[in-house]
A = this chain, B = another copy of it.
Amino acid sequence: MLENLEKTQRIIKVAANSRTHAVAGAIAGTIREHRCADVQAIGAGAVNQAVKAIAIARNYLIGDGLDIVCGPELSEIDADGQRLTAIRFRLETRI
């Protein structure tokens, strides 16, 4: 239960109007703490912001000696009864 709660807290949701540097900061903070993070985006504008934020976060984390890679997945989600296809980026530190 606690583990699921922690996992939920690591999902960073990105919108088309999210500021890339703010999202990048959230990603970098989560990676520093947990060594992994999930970023979710729905729609082309949101996916674009998410990818830019991940690229910026990679630069933020160089100073910590951390390199992140992501495995994007298509994920069906339910938003107010509507089925939507989200992109889920599973970020983890490179071993």
Q: Contact size class for A?
A: 20 to 34
Number of copies: 2
Chain B nearest CB from A53 CB (Å) reads: 9
Stretch of A1-9, A29-37, A65-73 lying at the B interface: A65-73
The reply to whether the CB of A28 lies closer than 8 angstroms to some CB of chain B is: no
Minimum C-beta distance from A35 to chain B (A): 14
In the assembled complex, 15 residue pairs joining A and B whose CB atoms fall closer than 8 Å, in A order, are A43-B48, A44-B45, A44-B47, A44-B48, A47-B47, A47-B51, A48-B87, A51-B72, A55-B72, A55-B73, A55-B74, A58-B71, A58-B72, A69-B71, A69-B94
A contact set with B: CB distance below 8 Å:
43-45, 47-48, 51-52, 54-56, 58, 67-74, 87, 94-95
